[in-house]
Every structure is written in C-alpha cells, then in structure tokens.
Amino acid sequence: MTRFPLELDTTRAENENNTLFNAIKRRYDETTDLRNILAKVFTILITFWLLAVMLLLTGNTATYKLSDSVLITLLTTTTIQILGMMVIILFDLFPGGKKEKSKE
C-alpha cells in the first residue's frame, strides 16, 4: 500500500504559481511606472528651481540688490537640495548596490 498517489494533480499548484507570478509582474509594472513619473516630476522641479535661481542671480545686479550672505545661502541651499533630490531619485530607481554586493 502506497502513501502517495501515483499521479499528482499539479494544476492547482500551477494556477497558484501563475497567479503569484502575475501579481509580482503587475506590482513591478506599477512600481516602474511610478518611478518614471517621479523621475520626470523631480527633473521638471529641479529645472524650474535652477531657472528661478539663475533669474535671481542675474536680476540681482539691477533689481533685487540682495546681500552677499543671502546669495551665498541661496546658492548653498540650492546646491544641497538638487544633490539631495538626485541622490533620492537614483537610490529609488536603482535600489540595492552595496548591500547586494556584500552578500556575494
């Protein structure tokens, strides 16, 4: 007397595997779309921010007359914000990196 059936019904397991694969693929597609949208939004935001800073700097001589400390602060914070946003975007678009390499 055998404890296992001679023919195993694998249809249910294959269906569950296909369902899981489809769910993972759908989540990957949604995440990819979201990342693309975020990258575009941040690129546009950074472009407009840099344009505004350049207009402030060029208009400073005749119109605004901002002090040197204000200009230094503006340039410093702008540089930090742009670098920070780009780092966030790149780490979001390309996760892993050092952690995955150290496991190998």
CA distance 68 to 63: 15
Residue 6: per-residue pLDDT = 44
Name the residue among 31, 55, 53, 49 with its Cα closest to residue 85: 49
CA atoms within 13 A on the CB side of 7: 2
- Determine contact, residues 54/86, Cβ cutoff 8 Å: no
Residue 98: per-residue pLDDT = 60
Question: What does the pLDDT look like over 42-84, one tens digit per residue?
Answer: 889 888 888 988 888 888 877 778 888 988 898 898 889 888 8
Q: How far is CA 39 from CA 45, 52, 61, 94, in A?
A: 10, 20, 34, 12
The whole model's pTM is what?
0.56
Confidence of residue 101 (pLDDT cuts 50, 70, 90): low
The full length of the chain comes to 104
Give the pLDDT mean for 6-21. 71
Question: What does the pLDDT look like over 18-38, one tens digit per residue?
Answer: 888 888 888 888 878 888 888
CA distance 4 to 10: 14
Domains of the chain, by residue range, sit at 31-93
